[in-house]
Structure 1
Amino acid sequence: MPPTFPPQRSTRFNARLLVVTLTIWMLCNCVSTTINAADAENETKYRKDLAPLLRTYCFDCHGESDGEGGLSLAADDSAEKLIQGRSHWMRCVTQLRLGTMPPADADPMPPSTRTQMADLIEQLATAVNCVRNPNAGKVALRRLNRAEYRNTIRDLTGVDYSPAEDFPGDDVGYGFDTIGDVLSLPPLLMEKYLDAAEAIMGEAIYTPPPPLIFQAQKDPHSLIGADKYGGKESLTIFSNGAVGFELDAPFAGKYTVNVVVSGTQGGDEPVRMELRGGKQSQTLDVPETDPVEKEASFDLKRGKQTIDLAFINDAYARNQYDRNLVLHHVEVRGTETSRLTTTLPKRPASHQVLLFQTPNNLRSFDDAATAVLTRFASRAYRRPASASEVGRLVALAESVRSGGASYEESMQVAMQAVLVSPYFLFRIERPREPGPDGAMPMISEFELATRISYFLWSSMPDDELLRLAHRGELRDRGRLLEKVARMIRDARASRFVENFAAQWLQIRNLDNVAPDTRIYRGFDDEIRDAMRTETLMFFSEVMKNNLPITTLIDADFSYMNQPLAEFYGIDGVRGNQFRRVSLAGTPRGGLLTHASILTVTSNPTRTSPVKRGKWILDNLLNMPPPPAPPNIPELEKGALVGSLRERMEQHRSNPACAACHNMMDPLGFALENFDAVGRYRTRDGKDEINASGEMPDGTSFRGAEGLRELLAVERREQFIRCLAEKMMIYALGRGTEYYDKCAIDEIMARVESKNYRFAYLIAGIIESDPFQKQGFRE
């Protein structure tokens, strides 16, 4: 039905209104038509393409009323119902690709048909209309994990707080420790945070220790020369003269002599006394007849000093007056002043950075504290701190100062409060509602800066990122990509390598493996560390130099030092420094032949084709096999005979075992030329190694070279898509869902258009809707 228009008002107005209204109507109609057409296309695809295959191969066992294992596929008789049953249909896809369904006793399915059916089910089950604002997904409230906490503290305060390693371990979800759903805050960890905040700020801000204090009290009658004078409770000095005492000064500093004195007045001037210390002297008037406290200060050197108290204006007139000095009490106090000046150079660099303003004659405490805490809290919270937040921190600092603390001490306490705030410990994003048209809302630019920084640096945004966010320029594509390129080349990008790559490739487990050194001589902790370094430096090379992603699989170079090169049997590498080494003419190339990966996927006494095959399925193809059924026996030599490969084939003859091993074993056997610590071999004991393999779909290959070709060429798209999904999980802090398909498809298209260069995968994730927007949980 064509649009209707309001009554005419003017020709120009109505013409413009006509254009706008018609345009809106056409857009809405176009979107509606597109949506309806997409739904109709899916139904056609189900009826004409998928349903015949299901009837041929699946419905005999999984019919509408007698589905084996409680699974009825026939009941989902439309594309719409298939989407509603997405979870069990996606399990079917996994079983098809693993070759476990249809079962071995059913009619055989040609490999091409198996691939076709799996692709059709996946396309229909994950069908998302990308025109209709697909869900961007919602990330749970995320606590900083241990690595992020330590890096953030270092970048915020300049303190490398290594005790963070003693925090309770972070739980892992989807293979990573960045997942919001599993990063809880147990009471023990909260206690650790409180202790850490105090220790960190104590190291970041220098507070001079209280000056050393010396105090001594003297009985006037014990003073030198007191025996000349009289008085029971007090000492009366009745003629010009002096009493004194020796002081063994423990330090150079300012010493104050406090005396409680009174005077018997007479004549035309008050009683006057002189206090002498070293070469210094001070004269005090004592006009009172009642006891009063007087003091004199002296700068004294360390060591023995003499302090004299002299009566200097004695006067006497017979039967008229007698002027005397009465000494009731003497006390000396010392304050070390040299300590303050000699310790100033010990201030850490962080002290001046954090306390860039201090109170003085022109600046009040509140003004200095407000400036300092506004900057600190804004950086710690990864967004501008509000006036009320800063006000509470300043009030806290003022309350500490009013208790006698210094400016530095009050700042320490206020900053400790920041470090235990939820806005620091958690990555908090303000909830938003979708727009009127269902469009997913954008996160704020400060939240985007935080996502980018923790993705690439495992830490808080730097000043440049925050500045771009403050100016509203972070979504300017040119500025964003320039900044991301600089971040990848920055030294802090090594944290991405250590945290993402080490978890994706599972080489964090390298410290937990214990190869039998009686069998694998030459393996030790030095080699273990070198294995890890090789893999991380290799991954970093691919990333920082924007090499094709497939270089991870088929590279003809790696990084080694002399010990690792000799362990591999490669000549020409000298010294302990790692350097790029050509692998031309060797059986090695890419991640698959790195000893780190080969070691973590082996048993202590032998290789494990099962572990290696599973590792490839999980981490390179994103096709995790189903869990092994219960009560499956281990591979034991006593029950099975022959070479490892022959024993595995006997083990796989059990249908229950074959369900898991048909896909894993061929991939693992392709790496059998590498022993349990990654050294090349051609025989396993007396048995010659057969490194050939054949996938359930009929694809065959031989050795690591054939496996590399399979992954880097024939299954390149699947490998890169797997890496994209793994990286997105790490970046978002949540598992990927079916509705992320639109974003991943866009990322893949972009990476393909850029010749599969690594940096464009990172940029594609950052520019994707799930990264830039906030959705909801389904």
Structure 2
Amino acid sequence: MNHRITKVAAFLLLFADAHASCSIADDRMQSQHFFNTFCVSCHGMEKSKADLRLDQIDVQQWNDPSLLNDIYTAIESGEMPPEDAPKFPEPDQFKALQKVLRNQLHLLAEKQKPGMLKRLSRVEYQNTVNDVFGSDFSLLDRLPLDNIEAGFNNNADNLHMSVFDMELYFNVANLIAESVVSDKPAPRVVVYSTKDTDIDTHSHKDNTNGFAPSLSLASRPLVFATQSIQIKINPSVKTSGVYRIVPKGFYIQAKFVAGSRVEERLPAVTDISEINTNDTPPTDHSMSYFLRKNSGVGQSIVTVIPKNAAWKDFNPSIGFTTQLSSDDTIVLRCNSVKGGGPQRMFCIETATITGRVYESWPPDTYFYKTYCKDIDASAGYEACQAILKRLARKLFRGPVSDAEMQQFYKHAMKAVAQDRSIFSGLQAGIRGMLCSPKFLFKQEGESGPLDNYAIAARMSYFLWNSLPDEMLFELARQGKLKDPKVRREQTLRMLQAARTDRFVRDYVYQWLDLKKLKIIEPDLSIFTVDEFDLVRDQIKEEPVEFFKEVLSSNLSLVNFIDSDFVMITPELNYIYRIEGHPVATPSKRPGASKISPKDYRPKEITSEFSKVMLDEKDRYRGGLLSQAGFMLMTTNNGEYTNPFYRGAWVLKSFYGDHLETPEDLEISAISPPTKTETIKETIDAHRADASCNICHKKMDPLGIALENFDVIGRWRDQYTDVSNYAPKGNKKGGRFPVDARTVHIDGRAFEGPQGLKTILMEDKERFSKAFVENMLSYAMARELNFLDREHIEQLYEQSANTNFRLRDILLEIVSSDYFTRR
């Protein structure tokens, strides 16, 4: 009997599968009929716009969720078929196609379940390590790359792991473990010499007597011939800490001869008689040192340290101990040299720098104070176990059993037995835990609801880019994080913490593609290097500060389109010239050439951003569109404005439309503006190619409307990008007027930045929906699929009820039941 039931059940399953397969095939054929009737004139064998053919939808294409979703979205938005299509479907035909596409997308989405493991992104890894160990490691360049081809860099579906990646993780884990905890290291001894110019004279160009005379010996010793002479040591210190510095050389009896600029003669010493280097230096022989920050390339000529600065005396035979950083220069002077005739002078040949030096061990760092209080190297293995267990709860973001800890205990026990030091054991255990999948991956289970610790981790990696704090851990232990009210309360608390700045910066940089600002500068003929030094960092921070203000004040998303305020500094106002707000003045950079910011470090700008309300005259400055950083990064290498790039950026950032160029399309470069042709005219010539016009008719109008802003975001009524930019037939050398009149792809005419804002405000529903979808994808740390549409719509409606206020959107995401599921 059971055997017969089993056979019947198997037959029914087989019949159901066959029926489902037939249904899917029928849906595909129904779709193919629609495409053949209405779409193949543009997407067929003879013509395939956007590199898309719909005349033969095979099984592989029918199972491609990305392709079907693009088709569904184009039909849903009314973009396809175009109004001028040879044939246009009836409403019921549209509905029938959407139904079969929706059914297939649902089936594909069911198969496309999120991955069980979510690898930490580079930013998340670095922040987690620094928060657990109280460190300030810069690890991004050492870690495996994040794949950001689809969505954000925390998109777990694209964060893969290879054997090579594991090797990188092991190397980084070793670096962290050895840096955080170890036995007292033997100090490193480095000898610097005058011969190799590691030790050199330190003087202002206008004071020739500040140059130290040198002796004609192989070692090129430098003579402290007067008290005004200053000699510098440039140490290559990689790790900040305490170091001992001992200058070494010999003494001479000599006479100082002053230099002369008129006679082009440097200072010198004469009547030299060497003193035995074994002689004991006189008791009145003293020197002083001063630490100054490295000048950097382009600032080799520096002002000498004034006499009344905070010099510190030391005995040269003993040296001195001081705190050094990688950007410190040590400046020395001799106090015992007097003016007048022949006298005893110290000649420096080398300097020995030993470090790091520790007065006691372990040092007074966050790790030792937090995890190793009252423990020294002789502590037993049991103490090592307790510390590792405590660390594991944080690194693994949840409770860890003794059984799970055994492999790490074994590594630690072996190290303790070998080196007889608890610190060696801790180092081994930490190294192992940092290579564990429980650290490298977020543990969220296979499917269904998340447990409380997984919810805590999802909340903290969303809003802090790091692990949960003690409050979240405790609420997870109590099982309270499944309560939406508790999550809402915690979200409000978390948004008040300084760690939220990490989320803001990471999200804004990716949403708006700010990474491009790291590699582009305005052309020197348009904006000088001294001017750019003034705003180089400010233009990167402006959109971040603007986002912070919208978030902290819980303002509507439409402020990103247009706002009645800006977040600026006096330096940025050098560009914007908003009345009633201070304007900073550029300082002169040494040298006239353009120097890479990698080689040159301009003066640090410490001005704080402030909220400035705009009057009607400056209202065009509101929102993101006119910010200097975006105007610069959407140019042709900072040389001239490019409506292509600006339009594509607006399309992606505000409409969520990521344009993709067909692989087989050959695109000719846009011709630069000339003395006789504006950028708008060169665009018209470029768009004459029908294959190019598919994308350009979308993006070009959005970019042309921003032509009143030059490469750095200054307002212009006439073009100034190209020298002698004169209109045709104008012999007086006048300039082209900016023509920012244009027409949207749907036929709406508009002009200039305010006209573009009007268009975007009319389309704010589309912008808000794209923003909500972006934020939800970032929060879930994965690419959204068709099954997520219902939740996106629900979140959109909830956001609309609160006028799309940014903080409320975050609260709705975290407090939703959807947020607590895979």
Give the shorter-chain TM-score range. Answer: 0.5 to 0.7
RMSD: 4.3
Structure 1 residue aligned with 2:640:
606
Deviations 1:367-392 (A, max 9, x none): 43333222111110111112112233
Of 157, 165, 177, the match for 1:201 = 177
Which residues of 2 match residues 35-434 of structure 1 at below 5 A?
Answer: 58=39, 87-88=66-67, 90-92=69-71, 106-107=85-86, 125-126=101-102, 137-139=113-115, 141-187=117-163, 189-205=165-181, 207-208=183-184, 342-343=359-360, 346-355=363-372, 358=375, 365=380, 367-432=382-447
Does 2:637 correspond to 1:589? Answer: no
Structure 2 residue aligned with 1:682:
717
Deviations 1:347-374 (A, max 9, x none): 213212122575999xx94543333222
Q: Secondary structure at the match of 1:559?
A: strand
Distance in 2 (alpha carbons) for counterparts of 1:664 and 1:536: 25
Structure 2 residue aligned with 1:552:
560
Q: Secondary structure at the match of 1:688?
A: coil
Unaligned runs of 5+ in 2: 1-22, 188-355, 585-606, 721-734
Of 690, 697, 709, the match for 2:758 = 709
Q: 1:95 to 1:397 in 2, by over 3 A?
A: closer
Distance in 2 (alpha carbons) for counterparts of 1:445 and 1:542: 30
Maintained 8 Å contact 1:100/1:662:
no
Structure 2 residue aligned with 1:477:
484
Maintained 8 Å contact 1:527/1:564:
yes
Q: 1:117 to 1:152 in 2, by over 3 A?
A: farther
Maintained 8 Å contact 1:599/1:678:
yes
Maintained 8 Å contact 1:356/1:372:
no
Maintained 8 Å contact 2:69/2:786:
no
Maintained 8 Å contact 1:613/1:668:
yes
Q: Secondary structure at the match of 1:498?
A: helix
Q: 1:75 to 1:148 in 2, by over 3 A?
A: closer
Q: Secondary structure at the match of 1:412?
A: helix
Maintained 8 Å contact 1:204/1:350:
yes
Offset, 1:450: 1.3
Does 2:573 correspond to 1:540? Answer: no
Offset, 1:492: 0.4
Offset, 1:400: 2.1
Maintained 8 Å contact 1:357/1:368:
no
Question: Which fold has the larger relative contact order, with Cα–Cα distance below 8 Å and residues 6 or more apart in sequence?
Answer: 1
Structure 1 residue aligned with 2:796:
748
Distance in 2 (alpha carbons) for counterparts of 1:462 and 1:161: 19
Structure 2 residue aligned with 1:3:
none
Distance in 2 (alpha carbons) for counterparts of 1:61 and 1:550: 36
Offset, 1:151: 0.7
Q: 1:540 to 1:71 in 2, by over 3 A?
A: closer
Q: Which has the higher helix share?
A: 1
Distance in 1 (alpha carbons) for counterparts of 2:84 and 2:666: 22
Letter in structure 2 aligned against 1:699: R
Distance in 2 (alpha carbons) for counterparts of 1:529 and 1:340: 36
Structure 2 residue aligned with 1:292:
none
Distance in 2 (alpha carbons) for counterparts of 1:578 and 1:209: 44
Does 2:668 correspond to 1:633? Answer: yes
Deviations 1:555-582 (A, max 9, x none): 1222221121112223443473322222
Maintained 8 Å contact 2:673/2:679:
no
Deviations 1:502-546 (A, max 9, x none): 111001110112331223336524412110111111111111222
Q: 1:505 to 1:410 in 2, by over 3 A?
A: same
Work out which of the two has the higher radius of gyration on C-alpha atoms and give 1 or 2: 1
Maintained 8 Å contact 1:359/1:368:
no
Q: Secondary structure at the match of 1:663?
A: helix
Offset, 1:588: 0.8
Distance in 1 (alpha carbons) for counterparts of 2:788 and 2:753: 33
What TM-score does the superposition give when structure 1 sets the normalisation length?
Answer: 0.66
Q: Secondary structure at the match of 1:491?
A: coil
Q: Secondary structure at the match of 2:641?
A: coil
Structure 2 residue aligned with 1:698:
747
Unaligned runs of 5+ in 1: 1-38, 212-338, 433-440
Moved more, 645-654 or 459-468: 645-654
Distance in 2 (alpha carbons) for counterparts of 1:457 and 1:582: 30
Distance in 2 (alpha carbons) for counterparts of 1:461 and 1:573: 41
Q: 1:55 to 1:358 in 2, by over 3 A?
A: same
Q: Secondary structure at the match of 1:701?
A: strand
Offset, 1:625: 2.9
Distance in 2 (alpha carbons) for counterparts of 1:128 and 1:763: 33
Q: Percent identity?
A: 30
Structure 2 residue aligned with 1:498:
505
Maintained 8 Å contact 1:616/1:667:
yes
Structure 1 residue aligned with 2:346:
none
Letter in structure 2 aligned against 1:352: K
Distance in 2 (alpha carbons) for counterparts of 1:192 and 1:561: 41
Offset, 1:398: 2.5
Letter in structure 1 aligned against 2:742: G
Does 2:672 correspond to 1:624? Answer: no
Maintained 8 Å contact 2:667/2:692:
yes
Q: Secondary structure at the match of 2:766?
A: helix
Offset, 1:163: 4.4
Does 2:608 correspond to 1:577? Answer: yes
Distance in 2 (alpha carbons) for counterparts of 1:526 and 1:106: 53
Deviations 1:670-692 (A, max 9, x none): 11111122111112242222223
Offset, 1:420: 2.0
What TM-score does the superposition give when structure 2 sets the normalisation length?
Answer: 0.63
Q: 1:479 to 1:61 in 2, by over 3 A?
A: closer
Q: Secondary structure at the match of 1:580?
A: strand
Of 566, 569, 575, the match for 1:567 = 575
Structure 2 residue aligned with 1:758:
806
Q: Secondary structure at the match of 2:146?
A: coil
Of 686, 690, 694, the match for 1:651 = 686
Maintained 8 Å contact 1:535/1:591:
yes
- The count of residues paired between Structure 1 and Structure 2 equals 585
Distance in 1 (alpha carbons) for counterparts of 2:145 and 2:469: 27
Structure 2 residue aligned with 1:669:
704
Offset, 1:341: 11
Q: Secondary structure at the match of 1:633?
A: coil
Q: Secondary structure at the match of 1:478?
A: helix
Letter in structure 1 aligned against 2:551: M
Offset, 1:202: 3.8
Maintained 8 Å contact 1:523/1:677:
no
Maintained 8 Å contact 1:206/1:348:
no
Structure 1 residue aligned with 2:523:
516
Does 2:771 correspond to 1:723? Answer: yes
Maintained 8 Å contact 1:207/1:408:
yes
